[in-house]
Structure 1
Amino acid sequence: MKDKSRPAKGRTTRRARAAAAAATASLALLATSCAGDSTEAASGGDVCEGKTVRVGVTKSASDAPFYVAKEKGYFEEQGLKVRFLPFDSAAKMIAPLGSGQLDVGAGAPSAGFYNAVARDVKLRIVADKGSMPENYGYMPLMVRKDLYDSGVKSIRDLKGLKLAEPAQATATSSTAAVMLDKEGLGYDDVKHEYLGFAEHVTAFQNKAIDAGLTTEPSASIAEKQGFAVRIATPPDYYDNQQLAVVLYGGAFAEKDSQVGNCFMTAYLRGARDYTAAMSDGKVTGKGSEEIVRIVSEATGIEPKLYQSLVANYVHPDGKVNVESLHQDYDFFEKQGWLEGKASVDDLVDTSFAEAAVKKLGPADKSGS
């Protein structure tokens, strides 16, 4: 059954506005219920007081809920001290999460991620951090401008051309496979070039690549500078793909489960403020000025550019699209990229998000 609390095709604007209103209402209700007894419902109480949580960030726009929660004092209200530790990529967080050097991180479920789990690296997928329902295709398929002008204007026209992905065997590889398949091409009918998203702009400019699945803000920068053109958006082919998730290290999840609940409560409050500020897939709705300021200061993205970007969606109740994780895992297995067996269902731990939602109330009680 499709998750009704995510934007759905044909009804995105109405549902996004409804979700924003519901999120605002739930927070208002929370504030009212706490007025007579400090922050009893929102705070973590004595169990979390003074605890330090080490969080890996990449200083990307998809870290928005972390930054919003910290700036607005939600972690502090839970009694937590949060240390943001910068990483060049989410992939580099896996080993520190597994060893207990890092408590919370993020990642795009990839073959490398599942291979680490198969080698007994202890990790838990605990919440949504970046998904792509309709209007939130923040990783569009781009084609180099000169090729577009010469007639390369559809996915079918990509046969034999160079398609950029961030690395081999990632969730983006699965995105590409689905998009190609639905237009009659196989995954190997294009040449795969592996470049970090930030490198795509220069690669388009230098004609080192012909096309690319490119995340924001690089997609908008390449477009504004006249180097590339958007020809397709993933949600039209692969609805609501789970592209990024919040991860808890195994030691943190098992030894400090109450602290994990406190962290998740603050994270979801940040996620709700973030999604409430969206309008038609961009951070331009009610309350967006504050969100734009917070994220721009944290990431260095210029505010006007940030408001023009297609935003990554984050489920306000933290729900993970497990069906999408299974689909991508099956693709990795089919490609021969997996070195062992890992159970997707065993990796996903919904208890932290469920505990936070029980404390805060659901973001959208009506499901509409």
Structure 2
Amino acid sequence: MKMKKKLSVLLCFILSVVMVGCNAKAPIPEASPSPSEAGAEKESLSLGLISSISALPIIMAEEKGYFEEAGVDVKLEFFKAAKDRDAALQAGQIDGVICDQIAIAIYQNAGIDMKITGMTDGEFVLVAGANSGINQVADLVGKKVAISENTVIEYTLDQLLDKYDVSEAAVEKVAIPAMPTRLEMLNNGEIDAAIMPSPFSDTAIANGGKMIEKVDVDSGMYPSVTAFKQSVIDEKPNAIKAFYTAYNKGVDYINTTDVKAYEEVIITTIGYPEEMRGNIIAPVFRKNQLPPLEEVEDVFDWCEDKGLLTITLEPADAVSDIGVIQ
């Protein structure tokens, strides 16, 4: 009897364990965090530029954290000359550039499918040396004028000469690609005049140079743009849209903020001389937009005349509206 009772108890225990095992729920796997919860990795873009006031919205977008807010990691690479920037682009070290429409034509002619995705605001200034005797564009006849060949600088000079009926052959163009060198040679009297962007033009004038002519967006002769490779546009469309969203926020900040609040950035990053502190005037910037196609066509025609463009290139084939944020 005792043995039977023990077997009965044991049997009941085994059945109870089996029943508990059958009723137990399988453990629920822990849910994976969503990309936003996990902190999805931001796409990155690299941009090559030469220090000038036209780059200010981009620089302020970096300084104020607007790129990070928009969800894109932007690396800015500064160059002293266009040829160094272009070499980096050809080597695949940068995705986009601040350049000019002449550079776009040259890129396209070389088989690099670069697209204009925006335009910049700024100015080029024709500055004469203090002792050059130059007071107007007509006085450039027989004078040495510093340029960078086959760039917006030479295009600007040619446009000014045409505007004032001065023969291009009557002016001696001196190729000095690096802006700092161009400024130094103007200050030293080794050249008679030079076309330069701010802050180099401002420094030259502060050192005794004379402003002869200013070319900006309102003049219709300022073909400076931002551009990205078509392959980057295809691979990272959201990153480029984010870039221009941040650019536009940079524009809003500059246009609504006293320049004294970001003057230090202009001096340290763009390179304005310390002596200009308190006297810097920032342009009124526009939110990103594309240049008129007829202006692009004028530049491409100039490139053809110079022998820089040997392919058929329509202006519409060299632009992309991906950066025009509505």
- Normalising TM by the smaller chain, what interval? 0.7 to 0.9
In the alignment, which residue of structure 1 is the partner of 2:129? 144
Alignment of 1:166-177 (within 5 A): 167-177=148-158
Distance 2:124 2:233 in 1: 31
State the number of aligned residues.
Answer: 290
In the alignment, which residue of structure 1 is the partner of 2:233? 253
> Deviation of residue 66 (structure 1)?
1.5
In the alignment, which residue of structure 2 is the partner of 1:264? 244
CA contact (8 A) 2:52 2:197 kept: no
Inter-CA distance 179–68: structure 2 relative to 1 (3 Å threshold): same
> Deviation of residue 146 (structure 1)?
1.7
> Deviation of residue 126 (structure 1)?
0.5
Which amino acid in the other structure matches residue 144 of structure 1? G
In the alignment, which residue of structure 1 is the partner of 2:300? 329
Alignment of 1:200-239 (within 5 A): 200-226=182-208, 228-235=209-216, 239=219
TM-score normalized by the length of structure 1 = 0.70
Task: Structure 2: give runs of 5+ residues left out of the alignment.
Answer: 1-35
Inter-CA distance 204–302: structure 2 relative to 1 (3 Å threshold): closer
Inter-CA distance 315–49: structure 2 relative to 1 (3 Å threshold): farther
Structure 1 or 2, whichever has the larger Rg, is: 2
Alignment of 1:83-122 (within 5 A): 83-94=75-86, 96-97=88-89, 100-110=92-102, 112-122=103-113
Distance 1:45 1:271 in 2: 31
1:244 counterpart = 2:224:
yes
CA contact (8 A) 1:126 1:247 kept: yes
Distance 1:317 1:115 in 2: 23
Identical counterparts, % of pairs = 20
Which one of 151, 154, 169 corresponds to residue 188 of structure 1? 169
Which amino acid in the other structure matches residue 126 of structure 1? T
> Deviation of residue 45 (structure 1)?
12
CA contact (8 A) 2:259 2:282 kept: no
Distance 1:122 1:220 in 2: 35
> What's the RMSD between the two structures over aligned residues?
2.9
Which amino acid in the other structure matches residue 140 of structure 2? L
SS in 2 for 1:179: helix
Distance 1:46 1:118 in 2: 44
Which one of 46, 62, 74 corresponds to residue 82 of structure 1? 74
Inter-CA distance 205–74: structure 2 relative to 1 (3 Å threshold): closer
CA contact (8 A) 2:180 2:200 kept: yes
Inter-CA distance 174–84: structure 2 relative to 1 (3 Å threshold): closer
Distance 1:45 1:117 in 2: 42
In the alignment, which residue of structure 2 is the partner of 1:67? 59
> Deviation of residue 84 (structure 1)?
2.3
Which amino acid in the other structure matches residue 147 of structure 1? S
Which amino acid in the other structure matches residue 183 of structure 1? Y
In the alignment, which residue of structure 1 is the partner of 2:4? none
CA contact (8 A) 1:216 1:309 kept: no
TM-score normalized by the length of structure 2 = 0.78
In the alignment, which residue of structure 2 is the partner of 1:301? 272
Task: Structure 1: give runs of 5+ residues left out of the alignment.
Answer: 1-43, 132-137, 278-285, 359-368
